[in-house]
Structure 1
């Protein structure tokens, strides 16, 4: 008896042309003919293997008539799973041979496998683990994986053209974490997206800090121009071949998802309803009018959607990665904006800690108050602000505009804000040298914003909670661009009893007169707080010390200014302390004309310029003390200045209660 051997051959990506040969469908042949150029028009489609027409080099399937804008795959799974962002991951459990492929019945996506494992048991292509996957947003997605001995490709079919976020999810399931030889296995492969090399010698376990069963996420931006997307994982010819089981060495992936960075205009595979306008039009003239109006409305709706999609595409082309993030990326990074990841919440909205797939830790600010600008202007402004970089400014990575509210993405700073370091229990122990460098750093950052940057920016909300500290305690001013994004009428001043009011300059509080001298005033307050180690208002201490500025002036006039120094400072430089106090009192003068520019402040602080002796107590402090001394008739003694606008003459803040602003 003659035995027929099952022959597997890879002929993919070989530029094969002509009619599809009928002999290629013989039962004893398993041929991978993906990405060739067969003339399908001259071929009897009845002999074509299922899905092959969709995976030809020129991708004739759905080319020019896209039906989809996303897809997601749970690799190696026999059931569909819903992700944390409500994305439905389709099953991918088909047993692929050594040179095989398949396409889903909806022609949404396909997969191709090439290569034969060396003596692998049952030539297995799917592996799974019963261990819980660590650091996984949805652990079930990473419990299974598809593995290939050489080349594994996933294809997106019929996608609407535009920029997409490609998210790949990995977990090493083949090599156990154990003190035995079985843990010595090493898997190395390359990752290509649309033919571009994204990762060279990628090692899942190495990316996970040397741990198996730990989630690793990689995110990329890909451009779809021919309604077709290709993700290629390719064995790098490195690693081990036989540990812990013969053949566990090729590329492996647990899940993937593709989401658009634009507003789609297709229905993602949902069948379109047939129009009944013709039938309605035949009933009566009145019905015809209704039908025509409906058609016109549909036409205008489609036109609007296409225009929005075009505008969205223009935005991404204008700014580009990494300035624009997708909402799917940030949802994954923040665990779907989990409340456990909230760093703070203020006037602009909550701030979340997150981690991008490339390992960068970020702070995501959700803007609860909508900007008065359109999306084009918003993204352009964010791009402008992103270009303003200085060692004493928090880096703005970019933004997201496809969520319900705009999002800003900043670098994350480990040591939190200056107010946390100075005022809270278990705060950082900042010696005088560190505090002086912090004051200098804030001054440098403001000097850059006011006088050196190509984009001149008035921060408008300088305060201790808006100064963040990195690992080395270098100060970085945050939110320095939000004043440009929002209406001048919004001040974002915290006026509640939490204790962060007192930074508003008089002319801004009273007349909305905004110049860089508003920031100079606020800097003076922050400098005093840093010296004293306390907030500008503290109702829990004796009355003469409640208001920091008033107390500082009393001591200054008595030539006892250094008594304001934080008692926790056992040792400090007296000359530097007096210089900072003097500069702070000069910066908080009532008239903006009396306040120095920040470049002058820097020169005095560093000793490059002499300290000016003439400093006058501001009238708002005098008026406060006068009113307090005549409290029995406060209405007659309160000046017109404070009475007309209901402004506290010492703190220069509205007396109504507002929302706090965390500032990160």
Structure 2
């Protein structure tokens, strides 16, 4: 496309720069006019004077020279204009406008704000200040809302504390992360997450509602995600029974959209660094949102000398684990592992013996590329419920994402575009239900089967 545009821009210049001999006559391929014969004897009344003829010829040559000079000047000017346009076009192609990125971020942020609850409309919530633009909620109120951090209200556990379900208002249920910050790393993660989430707002990124602190305790308040984490849904008591093939593809698509926003629409770009199924949360409609940004970094700060190696075994990209090299392709690798979890229903690392573990990538890779073996390793919950072509396509995407060499992995934008056609329109994709095989459609006992 760029080559065609370049040729179109240069075409007028190439057409104007013809050899000089073609410019001497308006008809370059016409035969040269015959030079009149002048007799040295003035005995014919029709013969012209030699001086007059030479003067006319001189004027004709002068006019031709002027024409050549004028066309040369016009060609040079046009060439300069085209060259300037080309330079500007190449510059903007190579260096996208930062303001454009900021505008995209703002529009996506507006979408996030529109879908997230805000504390301003709840008058019963006691705010005691602000941390930047983040509301600081009274600690005593949070303590009361969690039932004094009652064990039955625990939603999940992390490295530095637990996440609790809480009710700050009659109409507002929230999730409260309680961090014990005696460890400097916990304090750093708290500061990092609050700072990043206060700027990052998107429908597929968890919404930060507020924060609080009390001595060495730090609190982060989020919107409540009623269906918990993807890890709990896949590997908990239900073993993925609530997740149909289409819901799994929707979750993958939502996750890819969240990552694409971080990688391409945030300025500077954000690398999550700890993408995993436990950090993908699901709301009441199974919309997926990225969470836990304590380890996230902005692009340009990933120097292995000042960034501690962090992450979760099974999701960490090989180049980061071995060389400390961290890029957006590290997130793509982790996404590929999550995609394998959705496809196979297995954990990223499974124990074979007390001292022996096996990675889902190592185990599945030989079978993912074999169409005869692939259907046999799919999660039994979704086996035979999808179009085989869609199954092969998702497997191919997963294989590309978990390639050992980062340059072989696709950008998350490419992954996103490959998943959109596999998700039904009503779930955020472009797939029409009429295109699906009959066995994929759920049975409806109240539906008339007659044509």
TM-score by length of 2: 0.58
Q: Please name the residue that 1:553 is paired with.
A: 365
Shift of 1:403: 4.0
The answer on 1:578 being equivalent to 2:392 is: yes
Q: 1:476 to 1:396 in 2, by over 3 A?
A: same
Counterpart contact for 1:416–1:468, Cα < 8 Å: yes
Work out the CA distance in 1 between the residues paired with 2:257 and 2:167.
29
For 2:186 and 2:160, the matched residues in 1 are separated by: 15
Residue 409 in structure 1 maps to residue 315 in structure 2: no
* Match 2:308 to one of 489, 495, 507: 489
Deviation at 1:603, TM superposition (A): 1.7
**Is 2:291 aligned against 1:478?**
yes
Cα distance in 2 for partners of 1:326, 1:198 equals 14
The answer (yes or no) to whether the contact 1:219–1:358 under 8 Å persists in 2 is: no
Q: Which has the larger radius of gyration?
A: 2
Report if aligned partners of 1:347, 1:492 keep a CA contact under 8 Å in 2.
Answer: no
Partner of 1:539: 351
Alignment of 1:443-462 (within 5 A): 443-462=256-275
Deviation at 1:437, TM superposition (A): 0.8
Q: Cα deviation per residue 1:227-282 (whole Å; 9 max; x = unaligned)?
A: xxxxxxxxxxxxxxxxxxxxxxxxxxxxxxxxxx4xxxxxxxxxxxxxxxxxxxxx
Deviations 1:161-215 (A, max 9, x none): xxxxxxxxxxxxxxxxxxxxxxxxxxxxxxxxxxxx986xxxxxxxxxxxxxxxx
Deviates more, 1:517-526 or 1:360-369: 360-369
Considering fraction of residues, name the structure with more helix: 2
- Within the candidate set 105, 125, 136, 1:219 is matched to 125
Matched residues in 2 for 1:530 and 1:411: separation?
Answer: 24
Gaps of 5+ in 1: 1-196, 200-217, 222-260, 262-315, 494-500, 609-664
What secondary structure, in the 3-state scheme, does the structure 2 residue paired with 1:367 have?
A: strand
Aligned to 2:194: 382
Question: In the alignment, which residue of structure 2 is the partner of 1:355?
Answer: 167
2:210 is matched with 398
More strand by share: 1
Q: Does the CA contact (< 8 Å) of 2:160 and 2:186 recur in 1?
A: no
RMSD: 3.2
In structure 2, relative to structure 1, the CA distance for the partners of 1:492 and 1:329 (3 Å cut) is: farther
Match of 2:315 among 500, 503, 507: 503
CA distance in structure 2 between the partners assigned to 1:464 and 1:518 by the alignment: 15
- CA distance in 1: counterparts of 2:400 and 2:315, whole angstroms: 14
Partner residue of 2:426? none
Residue correspondences, number: 290
Deviation digits for residues 122-177 of structure 1, max 9, x if unmatched? Answer: xxxxxxxxxxxxxxxxxxxxxxxxxxxxxxxxxxxxxxxxxxxxxxxxxxxxxxxx
> Could you say which residue in structure 2 is the equivalent of 1:512?
324
Distance 1:420 1:586, change over 3 A: same
Q: What aligned pairs does 1:109-508 form with structure 2 within 5 A after superposition?
A: 218-221=124-127, 261=128, 316=129, 319=132, 323-357=135-169, 359-369=171-181, 370-371=183-184, 382-427=194-239, 428-484=241-297, 488-489=307-308, 491-493=310-312, 501-508=313-320
SS of the aligned residue for 1:362 comes to strand
d(CA) in 1 for partners of 2:191, 2:199: 12
Q: What are structure 2's unaligned runs of at least 5 residues?
A: 1-120, 423-451
* Residue aligned with 1:336, SS: coil
Give the C-alpha shift of residue 380 in structure 1.
8.6
Per-residue CA shift, 1:445-498, capped at 9, x if unaligned? 1111111124521111111111111100111111135424998315143xxxxx
Aligned counterparts of 2:268 and 2:222: Cα–Cα separation in 1: 19
| 1:317/1:219 CA distance change after superposition, 3 Å | closer
Report the equivalent of 1:566: 379
**Partners in 1 of 2:158 and 2:193 — Cα distance?**
22
Q: Are the equivalent residues in 2 in contact too, given 1:443–1:602 (CA < 8 A)?
A: yes
Offset of 1:358 from its aligned partner? 5.1
Q: CA deviation at 1:394?
A: 1.3
1:374: how far off? 8.3
Residues of 1 paired with 2:413 and 2:252: CA distance? 14
User: What is the aligned partner in structure 1 of residue 341 from structure 2?
Assistant: 529
Shift of the alpha carbon at 1:586?
A: 0.6
Change (3 A) 1:551 1:379: closer
* CA distance 1:374–1:351, shift in 2 (3 Å): closer
Q: Distance in 1 between matches of 2:174 and 2:350?
A: 33
Judge conservation of contact 1:319–1:379 (CA < 8 Å) in 2: no
In 2, the alpha carbon distance for the partners of 1:591 and 1:479 equals 27
Task: Quote the offset at 1:363 in angstroms.
Answer: 1.4
Retained in 2: the 8 A contact 1:555–1:563?
Answer: no
